[in-house]
């Protein structure tokens, strides 16, 4: 195992041992281990984690700053015209470019490696060739012989386990499933014998109607791309040389010296409130000897959820939708571990039981991946301010609840298994003020935690929050009237922008020219500077364009009040978006920050100009639609921005095709967000106006992290290979996030590179390093721990159908772009067919008729059908191209919970709300109506139905709706009096009104943004949107749910 580049540190035998272990992980992206260093000499520092240079980012800032020529230029005087706003007559006044030969900023800014970087494989799914029509590689990998048992021969390496009571003659206690039986058909036994409650999975299928099956010509082209099926060897040198060490692999709390274990749980009174914002006190350290207890506890965990063992015939059980929102599955872990585990809202895996080998994973035909919401707003977040951040010396993992303490002085990494020393400072627990209990420190008691990063985590001092707004002020933009809303929103929220006394702000407007605004403190009013040379944009007076918000607040307010009126008479129809973005980028380069761009049309002038590509007649065709960018300008500029810590958020307010496929790249690669308001108009579309206002309110005031990077590590043997979301992958696994916001989600795909058969538990850790708006460098760490399993049945039992659907949606977006929409649709369908076929052929003992699914996947066909009908992937003429692209952006950027609500909304009947089953929160009674299937069958004309689609709430009122609801809730005398546009319910003094409003408020409170409520009458244009979401129904171009099930069954039973 000798590898080049292993540092000669860690002289103790154990240290060396662990180091070997680490070196074996070469090639896994989590490690940053020595081998990787050797391969990537230019990025050696990455291996040190965040405490050294981040490649490609800060170094470029220095020259940019020192070369900043602008002040010199602006002082060069005569050629520029500076006019007070009051004198502004229209875009005729011009600042001519000073006679500087060339702008030195440009080359120096562009000299970094970033723009030249090739499309990273992780953002280029094409780089990982897969069989078309399927997401899953390796379909043909032969199942290894005896894969169920391939670690029974290694029980010798588990001395602790063997000293524990053993069950069923199997000394290896890593696998609870073996309790029931040791024979080869145990996965079937498991279902048969362990299914006391399950309906007998038999019965003739309903008559099969003929239907035109979905095209699935590409299915049978499996093509393994990554494959570790051969890797079933154990790690003999590791385990045999140091059995104690290896035994504790996967245990979070191996045995400690007696005195160490029995410490009385401390009270929280010793908590120093100022330094440690640790909410609930430490959790008791129950030193359970996990060896034997792990088994029965896990089993009892299963028996607590007997429905998990059900096998369901979906053709018989028509409604599997739970009455309340679907909860993520609980990993089958010992309760002492599980109670420390990361909240699934933050960190979730598609399979809560990790297959031991890639071969097993391939066999399940389910995608393995993580879904993250790392910067979610949290009510409680323990913050550690101590200067010692304890991390694994080998793989840089942060100490976490799932490491093992060998004794007081040594802990073993749960990702690479290296044994590390406990630093002296860590021996003291600031919570309890007790010395000698490192295992009680908050870092070891919380799967989610934030550290205040010391100076070694910075390459430059934390930059101030910088907000630059870039407004389209062309004729088209003025027509929409959006500037009024945006400027008013900004005025309202100016004091709520996250920041401190250093906050900087600036504004740029553009049409065919670019307009800057000097807001220098002391001016009597803002001054406008126009640059008409859009071929080679320069920045006049840069020091006065981004100004301290506190010092120049009045000027900023002046400008915001004036701006909406300044261009009302403009006749300028051209849009020089590209040059404006270049100018904004130059302005922000020294500091980084957030750029908010408002655009209302296709850019027509200068670099980045685009041509219309959408042909309305071709909308229905799934082929030949332009999902790929027509220019790489926006991506390249985004990469430049990323290198200078600038994120670009795009607000597209356009009634016409604006080529979001191209424009969106500016946000995607710079870690920004995209907002889209089709047909925005201040008068004709009041609902969009309200939506923009609400979303701006959230956007302007939500938490923001600057200069961020995120890395995701996982236990040795697992490997992350594809990332989804808005960011740039800087090195193999370092995501560059110039900004991070609490509403962004991410997903990654993983494979099993080495057999995990000597491991019971694996862990995943995300670490997000960012600069807070207060100028603090912070690290937010989430750690998730999951069990490893060895049978296909267990893999299926632990499947998280929402996470699977979410990850498949991300993969399908990539497939749509790299291949075609129809290919992506086929792949989605085949994902269901393949996994259910695998379940049928490999898990079910007798081949029943019907469509048999494990309980965990009972909603899989429904969710995939919902995805096929989602705007991203639907066929038919409904979606115009930009709307489809936007939906795809949302798939990539939304946290899972909102993605699922968008895809499969929750439907409630609300005209008969009662207090039965209601919940009580703060003396408020909140009705809990059951969730209904998404079918018009569930609607009735005498009722009112609320659909919660995440960012939108739709209340459809039937034509014969009961008078009681009309008058007591809507406050109207009859149906005809319901306003055409109604986005709020009146607060009436009736119990019906109180219940309805309580329920809607409760739904809204559960998300950080404010979903608009649309009240929909039968003849409202919005009714189509409402019905669009009835995913169980047949449409012109899509199967009904039942037809879809029949199709799946046909394919599965082939
Ligand atoms: Zn480690």
Kindly list the distances between the CA atom of residue 163 and the CA atoms of 150, 155, 158, 171, 757, in Å, as whole numbers in the listed order: 21, 11, 9, 9, 20
Q: Which two tokens stand for residue 734?
A: 């370092």
What are the mean pLDDT values of the chain's consecutive 10-residue runs (1054 residues total)?
Answer: 35 31 31 28 28 31 30 32 40 42 34 34 38 52 29 30 32 28 28 30 34 34 31 28 30 31 32 34 33 32 54 90 94 95 97 97 97 95 92 97 94 97 90 87 95 90 96 96 96 96 97 96 92 92 93 96 95 96 97 97 96 68 74 97 97 93 96 95 91 94 96 96 94 91 97 94 97 96 97 96 98 95 96 95 82 95 96 82 94 96 96 92 92 95 96 94 95 93 92 95 90 91 90 91 96 88
Q: Rounded distance, CA 773 to CA 464, Å?
A: 7
- What is the spatial distance between Cα 1022 and Cα 437, in angstroms, rounded to a whole number? 60
Spacing, Cα 800 to ligand 1 middle (Å): 28
d(CA 720, CA 35): 17
For ligand 1, the distance from its centroid to the CA atom of residue 417, given in whole angstroms, is 6
- CA distance readout (Å), 552 to 88, 489, 544, 1040: 21, 18, 10, 59
User: Residue 954 corresponds to which tokens in the numbers above?
Assistant: 């739709």
Q: Which residues surround ligand 1, an ion (CB under 5 A)?
A: 392, 394-395, 397, 413, 415-416, 418
Among 894, 893, 903, 889, CA closest to 660: 889
Asked if 558 contacts 547 with a C-beta cutoff of 8 angstroms, the reply is no
Strand partners, 705: 740, 772
Distance from Cα 397 to the centre of ligand 1, integer Å: 5
Cross-strand pairs, 593: 646
Residues ≥6 apart with Cβ < 8 Å to 193: 180
Spacing, Cα 236 to ligand 1 middle (Å): 19
Question: Cα(34) to centroid of ligand 1, in Å?
Answer: 12
How many A from CA of 953 to the centre of ligand 1? 46
Q: What's the rounded Cα separation, in Å, for the pair 832 and 476? A: 46
User: Distance from the CA of 1054 to the center of ligand 1, in angstroms?
Assistant: 47
Give phi and psi for 155, each to the nearest 5: -60, -25
How many angstroms is it from 392 CA to the middle of ligand 1?
A: 5
Distance 391 CA to ligand 1 centre (A): 8
d(CA 199, CA 61): 65
Distance 730 CA to ligand 1 centre (A): 22
Task: Give pLDDT, residue 12.
Answer: 33
* Whether the Cβ atoms of residue 1000 and residue 985 lie closer than 8 Å to each other: yes
**Ligand 1 centroid, distance to 766 Cα (angstroms):** 14
pLDDT tens string 649-661: 999 999 899 999 9
Using the mean position of ligand 1's atoms as its centre, give its distance from the Cα of residue 21 in Å.
Answer: 9
Supply the pLDDT for residue 624: 60
CA pair distance 900, 891, nearest whole angstrom: 9
Distance 858 CA to ligand 1 centre (A): 38
What spacing in Å lies between the alpha carbon of 419 and ligand 1's midpoint?
8
Q: How far is the CA of 491 from the centre of ligand 1 (A)?
A: 49
Q: What is the pTM of this model?
A: 0.75
Q: How many whole angstroms from 434 Cα to the centroid of ligand 1?
A: 27
Distance 33 CA to ligand 1 centre (A): 9
* Token pair recorded at residue 807: 């990850």
Burial of 888 (0-12, 13-18, 19+ CB in 10 A): buried
Question: In whole angstroms, what is the distance from residue 493 CA to residue 488 CA?
Answer: 9
What are the C-alpha distances in Å from 131 to residues 693, 724, 747, 831, 1049?
Answer: 45, 20, 21, 12, 22
Cα distances (Å, whole numbers) of residue 608 to 602, 645, 1045: 10, 21, 46
Q: How many A from CA of 402 to the centre of ligand 1?
A: 12
Share of the chain above pLDDT 90, in %: 59
Greatest pairwise CA separation for the chain in angstroms: 92
Distance 715 CA to ligand 1 centre (A): 8
> 356 alpha carbon to ligand 1 midpoint, in Å?
20
d(CA 620, CA 888): 17
CA separation for the pair 970, 959 (Å, rounded): 14
- Centre of ligand 1 to C-alpha 785, Å, is 15
- Collapse the DSSP code of 179 into the 3-class scheme (helix H, G, I; strand E, B; otherwise coil) and give the result: helix
Expressed in angstroms and rounded, the spacing between residue 411 Cα and the centre of ligand 1 is 10
Q: What is the 3-state secondary structure (H, E, C) of 487-507?
A: HHHHHHHHHHCCCCCCCEEEE
| Span from the CA of 46 to the centroid of ligand 1 (angstroms) | 15
- Separation of CA 748 and ligand 1 centre (Å): 20
User: What values do phi and psi take at 426, rounded to 5?
Assistant: -75, -15
- Residue 416 CA to ligand 1 centre (angstroms): 4
Angular region, 506: left φ>0, alpha ψ -120 to 50, beta rest:
beta
The CA-based angle 419-423-427, given to 5 degrees, is 110
User: How many angstroms is it from 413 CA to the middle of ligand 1?
Assistant: 4
- Measure 716 CA to ligand 1 centroid, in angstroms: 9
Per-residue buried b or exposed e for 779-805, using 16+ beta carbons within 10 Å of the residue's own CB = bbbbbbbbbbbbbbbbbbbbbbbbbbb
Compute the distance from residue 393 Cα to the ligand 1 centre, in Å.
Answer: 7
CA–CA separation, 563 and 542 (whole Å): 20
In 714-820, which residue ranges form alpha helices assigned H by DSSP? 792-797, 801-818
**Beta pairing partners, 497:** none
User: SS3 of 667, please?
Assistant: helix
pLDDT at 541: 87
The two three-digit tokens of residue 112, written as one number: 């970094």
Q: How much distance in Å is there from the Cα of 906 to the middle of ligand 1? A: 42
| Ligand 1 center from residue 395 Cα (angstroms) | 4
The phi and psi torsions of 349 (rounded to 5 degrees) equal -120, 145
Distance from residue 343's CA to the centre of ligand 1 (Å): 23
Distance 724 CA to ligand 1 centre (A): 25
Q: How far is the CA of 666 from the centre of ligand 1 (A)?
A: 36
Distance of CA 115 to the CA centre of its chain: 25
CA of residue 19 to ligand 1 center, whole Å: 9
CB atoms within 10 A of CB 77: 8
CA of 30 to the centre of ligand 1 (A): 9
């Amino acid at each position: 195992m000798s590898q080049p580049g292993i540092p000669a540190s860690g002289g103790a035998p154990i240290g060396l041992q662990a180091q070997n272990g680490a070196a074996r992980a070469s090639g896994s992206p989590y490690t940053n281990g020595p081998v990787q260093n050797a391969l990537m000499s230019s990025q050696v520092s990455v291996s040190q984690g965040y405490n050294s240079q981040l490649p490609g980012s800060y170094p470029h800032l220095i020259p940019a700053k020192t070369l900043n020529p602008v002040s010199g230029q602006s002082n060069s005087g005569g050629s520029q015209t500076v006019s007070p706003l009051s004198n502004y007559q229209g875009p005729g006044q011009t600042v001519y470019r000073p006679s500087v030969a060339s702008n030195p900023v440009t080359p120096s800014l562009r000299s970094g490696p970033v723009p030249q970087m090739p499309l990273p494989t992780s953002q280029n799914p094409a780089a990982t060739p897969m069989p078309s029509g399927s997401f899953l590689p390796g379909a043909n990998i032969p199942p290894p012989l005896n894969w169920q048992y391939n670690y029974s021969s290694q029980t010798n390496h588990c001395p602790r386990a063997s000293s524990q009571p053993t069950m069923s003659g199997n000394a290896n206690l890593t696998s609870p499933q073996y309790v029931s039986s040791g024979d080869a058909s145990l996965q079937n036994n498991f279902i048969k014998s362990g299914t006391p409650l399950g309906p007998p999975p038999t019965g003739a299928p309903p008559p099969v109607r003929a239907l035109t099956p979905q095209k699935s010509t590409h299915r049978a082209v499996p093509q393994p791309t990554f494959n570790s099926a051969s890797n079933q060897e154990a790690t003999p040198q590791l385990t045999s040389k140091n059995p104690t060490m290896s035994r504790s692999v996967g245990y979070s709390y191996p045995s400690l010296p007696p005195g160490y274990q029995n410490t009385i749980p401390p009270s929280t009174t010793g908590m120093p409130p100022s330094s440690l914002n640790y909410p609930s006190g430490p959790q008791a350290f129950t030193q359970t000897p996990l060896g034997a207890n792990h088994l029965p506890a896990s089993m009892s965990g299963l028996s607590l959820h007997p429905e998990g063992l059900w096998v369901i015939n979906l053709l018989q059980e028509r409604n599997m939708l739970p009455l309340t929102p679907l909860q993520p599955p609980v990993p089958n872990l010992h309760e002492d571990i599980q109670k420390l585990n990361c909240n699934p809202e933050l960190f979730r895996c598609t399979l809560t039981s990790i297959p031991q080998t890639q071969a097993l994973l391939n066999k399940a035909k389910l995608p393995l991946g993580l879904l993250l919401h790392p910067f979610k707003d949290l009510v409680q977040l323990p913050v550690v301010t101590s200067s010692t951040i304890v991390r694994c010396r080998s793989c840089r993992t942060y100490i976490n609840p799932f490491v093992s303490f060998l004794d007081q002085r040594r802990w073993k990494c749960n990702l690479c298994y290296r044994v590390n020393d406990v630093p002296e400072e860590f021996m003291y627990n600031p919570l309890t003020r007790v010395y000698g209990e490192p295992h009680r420190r908050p870092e070891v008691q919380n799967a989610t935690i934030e550290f205040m990063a010391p100076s070694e985590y910075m390459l430059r001092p934390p930059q101030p929050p910088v907000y630059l707004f870039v407004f389209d002020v062309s004729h088209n933009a003025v027509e929409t009237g959006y500037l009024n809303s945006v400027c008013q929103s900004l005025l309202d929220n100016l004091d709520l922008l996250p920041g401190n006394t250093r906050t900087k702000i600036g504004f740029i407007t553009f049409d065919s020219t670019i307009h800057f605004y000097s807001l220098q403190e002391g001016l009597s009013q803002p001054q406008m500077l126009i640059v008409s040379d859009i071929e080679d944009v320069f920045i006049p007076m840069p020091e006065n364009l981004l100004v301290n918000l506190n010092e120049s607040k009045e000027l900023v307010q002046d400008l915001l009040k004036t701006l909406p009126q300044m261009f009302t008479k403009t006749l300028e129809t051209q849009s020089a978006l590209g040059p404006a973005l270049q100018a904004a980028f130059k302005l922000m380069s020294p500091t980084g920050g957030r750029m908010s761009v408002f655009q209302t049309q296709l850019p027509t002038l200068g670099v980045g100009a685009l041509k219309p590509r959408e042909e309305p007649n071709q909308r229905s065709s799934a082929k030949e639609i332009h999902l790929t960018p027509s220019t790489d300008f926006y991506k390249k500029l985004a990469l430049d921005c990323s290198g200078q810590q600038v994120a670009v958020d795009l607000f597209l307010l356009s009634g016409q095709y604006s080529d979001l496929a191209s424009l969106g790249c500016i946000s995607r690669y710079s870690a920004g967000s995209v907002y889209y308001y089709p047909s925005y108009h201040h008068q004709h579309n009041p609902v969009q106006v309200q939506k923009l206002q609400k979303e701006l309110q959230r956007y302007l005031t939500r938490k923001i992290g600057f200069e961020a990077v995120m890395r995701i590590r996982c236990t040795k043997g697992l490997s992350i290979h594809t990332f989804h979301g808005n960011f740039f992958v800087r090195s193999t696994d370092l995501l560059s996030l110039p900004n991070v916001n609490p509403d962004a989600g991410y997903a990654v795909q993983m494979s099993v590179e080495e057999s995990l058969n000597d491991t019971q538990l694996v862990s995943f850790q995300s670490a997000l390093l960012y600069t807070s708006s207060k100028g603090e460098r912070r690290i937010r760490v989430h750690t998730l721990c999951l069990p490893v399993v060895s049978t296909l049945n267990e893999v299926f039992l632990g499947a998280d159908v929402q996470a699977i659907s979410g990850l498949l949606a991300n993969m399908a977006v990539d497939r749509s772009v790299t291949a075609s929409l129809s290919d992506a649709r086929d792949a989605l369908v085949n994902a269901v067919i393949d996994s259910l076929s695998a379940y049928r052929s490999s898990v079910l003992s007798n081949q029943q008729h019907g469509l048999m699914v494990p309980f965990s996947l009972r909603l899989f066909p429904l969710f995939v059908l919902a995805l096929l009908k989602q705007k991203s992937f639907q066929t038919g003429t409904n979606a115009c191209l930009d709307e489809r692209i936007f939906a795809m952006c949302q798939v990539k950027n939304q946290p899972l919970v909102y993605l699922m609500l968008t895809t499969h909304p929750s439907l409630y009947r609300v005209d008969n709300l009662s207090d039965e089953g209601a919940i009580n929160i703060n003396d408020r009674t909140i009705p809990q109506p059951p969730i209904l299937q998404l079918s018009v069958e569930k609607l009735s004309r005498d009722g009112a139905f609320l659909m919660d689609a995440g960012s939108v709430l739709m209340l459809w009122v039937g034509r014969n709706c009961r008078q009681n609801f009309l008058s007591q809730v809507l406050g109207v005398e009859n149906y005809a009096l319901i306003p055409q546009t109604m986005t709020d319910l009146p607060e009436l003094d009736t119990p019906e009104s109180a219940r309805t409003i309580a329920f809607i408020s409760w739904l809204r409170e559960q998300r950080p943004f404010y979903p608009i409520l649309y009240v929909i009458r039968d003849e409202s244009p919005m009714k189509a949107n409402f019905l669009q979401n009835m995913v169980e129904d047949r449409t012109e171009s899509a199967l009904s749910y039942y037809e879809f099930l029949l199709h799946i069954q046909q394919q599965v039973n082939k």
